[in-house]
Structure 1
């Protein structure tokens, strides 16, 4: 791809911009404590089980972590988790990957329109962007929770319909990001510093191991 002609970059949030585990693991722990107190669930997930669901839609996340719960119980769990995530953000939990704000600032200075496309809930995604002070870099923030999409391919399609660009790049750390980019005819940059498992980024056009590598690509 000729990056000099690129107009738009679309970023996943968790595992791409944001070190999610530093917020999610303590928030999930507290959520499960509250669920246990309500008599809804008695077992606790491992850290590996928690990180394995990053990037999933809310519905798929709870199917994985509360497999035997009913819809009402999963709705309660989701409400509690959001409360805990926002509360932990206020307490200072969570961290961006190194040089994310500086790199986003550089990309925006090159005239590139920046977006977030996340499978998370609207209040969570926008809450993280605001708490981490990166929301101002983005033209718009898209979340599955706000746009009611079941797959990231649909969410990215909605974003592209708004943006109108045919020269866009998808940046993410999960198979869903690669699939979403490819389904929409985009060049895909896989991030191998987040939660990607072996072969998860198969099909990406480029793989980076540090967020700042995006600057070098754009300079080509």
Structure 2
């Protein structure tokens, strides 16, 4: 019987694009002004495709030849912008997320988050949504040197009892589940591309469907 549920955050609980897209566009405009990239039209779908990657993976995938100093500064602009938007209450969870978490908490599961995010982002969300009402811990990848989730999940295993269940919307979440030999629920409403979650044990098309599977 599952004892600990490991949630991804962005694209699983948090509908991230609303604060990520303007933050990314702000950072890209700064790069244009520094004359290190060309102005170009970047579609929302492309931006959404980066959600779930950590910041290093995202910038290496998007602009592999860009000098690391500019990648770091652009990443900082994105992070700072999102934290400001969270402070202005612009971050939103998927409909039904709070109710779903309350049901699982009341069933006695240990609930934790494992996210490819930064420390400031984690802290801002924890405070904004009073996440201690449901979650015992929020693991962010920056605290672990931006290691992949397949490595950070070993910390979860040391801290919380198994068996485990992993829930997320991207390939990294599926790989995380496989690395700790746990079942995986793939969230089709998130930011993964078609076929990315092939091999999941279960699929859900909305947050509300999660409690019916567990």
Q: Same fold (TM over 0.5)?
A: yes
| Residues 87, 124 of structure 2: 8 Å contact kept | no
- Aligned partner of 1:162 in structure 2 is 159
Q: Does structure 1 residue 128 correspond to structure 2 residue 139?
A: no
- Aligned partner of 1:196 in structure 2 is 192
- The 1-side partners of 2:6 and 2:185 are apart by 10
CA deviations 1:102-156 (Å, max 9, x no partner) are: 1111111111110000112121133233323334311111011112242110111
Once the two structures are superposed, the pairs formed by residues 141-152 of structure 1 within 5 Å of their partners are 141-152=138-149
| Residues 126, 135 of structure 1: 8 Å contact kept | no
Gaps of 5+ in 2: none
- Aligned partner of 2:64 in structure 1 is 67
Gaps of 5+ in 1: none
Distance 1:68 1:149, change over 3 A: closer
| Residues 49, 192 of structure 2: 8 Å contact kept | no
Matched length: 213
Q: Does structure 1 residue 186 correspond to structure 2 residue 182?
A: yes
Instruction: Please identify runs of 4+ aligned residues in structure 1 that moved more than 6 A.
Output: none
CA deviations 1:50-74 (Å, max 9, x no partner) are: 1111111221111123332111111
Distance 1:43 1:63, change over 3 A: farther
SS at 1:212 equivalent:
helix
| C-alpha RMSD of the superposition | 1.6
SS at 1:204 equivalent:
coil
| Residues 122, 143 of structure 1: 8 Å contact kept | yes
TM-score (norm 1): 0.90
More displaced, 62-71 or 74-83?
62-71
- The 2-side partners of 1:18 and 1:102 are apart by 14
Q: CA deviation at 1:159?
A: 1.2
- Aligned partner of 1:94 in structure 2 is 91
- The 2-side partners of 1:43 and 1:52 are apart by 20
- The 2-side partners of 1:145 and 1:42 are apart by 29
TM-score (norm 2): 0.93
- Aligned partner of 2:8 in structure 1 is 12
Q: 2:108 aligns with which of 83, 107, 111?
A: 111
- The 2-side partners of 1:25 and 1:185 are apart by 34
SS at 1:171 equivalent:
strand
